[in-house]
Structure 1
């Protein structure tokens, strides 16, 4: 069963609707006492990374998340929270990945925020991307990106610059796109995560 970390910075309706469509059991994590009920976790997030980190700190869940040994997936801002630092709010994040979250420079050809469908290419074998062909389209909405890294990038995409569409370290995963809004392959990814 998946525990969705509730800390006041995630619109979870589309995520829970997708899990229900896929018949994946889930529940809510509001406090440390809730953590033991679940096999894996999702950290959702929308909006401002600095504000989201502040809310996560106030939830009291940070030490438990950092010590977590079960599969844990950050989505969008939830992925950015896993990094060491974000330019959005000039804030330290959880520090589970020694990489930074940076702001897109933008250009006439690459408007900010980056909104819409983009091709994603897995760069390492991992069960999270099982049965997802290289170049599959996923849906993005973000103004900040996680820098590409040879060690932690699991999948990459390009929007004027190559960046991490997904990261992986031990039991921690992140995706910058929204799998719950990404059609068939987004659903495949959520199913894959439910079995990791």
Structure 2
């Protein structure tokens, strides 16, 4: 299976590559348009800042390619947020795959809620094959200050300050805010289910 992991100068990519290799995949980190177009699966991971990441995607013409891809596509963390239409992080216009806005967490009680949201939290209202073999309220690992709003494309939720879209799906596009590569057996199962699509 040809798995393309999109290179766009975002952090945390190496741990995603290791996680995929542990599942028997042979991922290639690349920003080559032809290779990405011909891959069986595409994964779009990363940690970083939205406007800087979008600038790199635009320089490489990945902003034009990504929304047109037809194979199973999985955005992770910043990769999820960039698939949305707009991020409040530096007022960034994103890729527009999901007609969803990315908003900054604003804690109403700073003693109880810290930003960024860091640590383990659970998924609920799970919908679809990405969660095969998982229980409702399975725990995953988060590190983020921005979140995707709930929408018709939400396939799992997490509650922190309020509910947000933990995972989303539209056609061949899947996206996850938490880090599957840091989420132990639950994250491994989600990646495995994605690779089996």
Tell me how far 1:17 sits from its aligned partner.
1.1
Relative to structure 2, which stretch is displaced further, 48-57 or 83-92? 48-57
Q: Deviations over 1:49-106 (max 9, x none)?
A: 1211111111211211111011100000000000010000101100111110000002
8 Å CA contact 1:31–1:60 kept in 2: the answer is: no
Q: Deviations over 1:144-188 (max 9, x none)?
A: 000112x11010000010000001000001000000000001000
Structure 1: 5+ residue stretches without partners: none
Q: What stretches of structure 1 move > 6 A for 4+ residues in a row?
A: none
8 Å CA contact 2:57–2:63 kept in 1: the answer is: yes
Where does residue 73 of structure 2 map in the other structure?
Answer: 72
Q: SS at the partner of 1:51?
A: helix
Where does residue 48 of structure 2 map in the other structure?
Answer: 47
**What is the rounded CA distance, in whole Å, between the counterparts of 1:64 and 1:42 in structure 2?**
14
**What is the rounded CA distance, in whole Å, between the counterparts of 2:125 and 2:4 in structure 1?**
26
Tell me how far 1:11 sits from its aligned partner.
2.5
**What is the rounded CA distance, in whole Å, between the counterparts of 1:187 and 1:24 in structure 2?**
12
Q: TM-score, normalised by structure 1?
A: 0.95
8 Å CA contact 1:2–1:38 kept in 2: the answer is: yes
1:127 aligns with 2:129: yes
RMSD of Structure 2 on Structure 1 (CA) = 1.1
1:85 aligns with 2:86: yes
Q: SS at the partner of 2:124?
A: strand
**What is the rounded CA distance, in whole Å, between the counterparts of 1:39 and 1:10 in structure 2?**
23
1:109 aligns with 2:105: no
1:136 aligns with 2:144: no
8 Å CA contact 2:40–2:72 kept in 1: the answer is: yes
Tell me how far 1:122 sits from its aligned partner.
3.7
**What is the rounded CA distance, in whole Å, between the counterparts of 2:167 and 2:186 in structure 1?**
14
8 Å CA contact 1:45–1:52 kept in 2: the answer is: no
Q: SS at the partner of 1:99?
A: strand
**What is the rounded CA distance, in whole Å, between the counterparts of 2:38 and 2:171 in structure 1?**
21
Where does residue 150 of structure 2 map in the other structure?
Answer: 148
Q: TM-score, normalised by structure 2?
A: 0.95
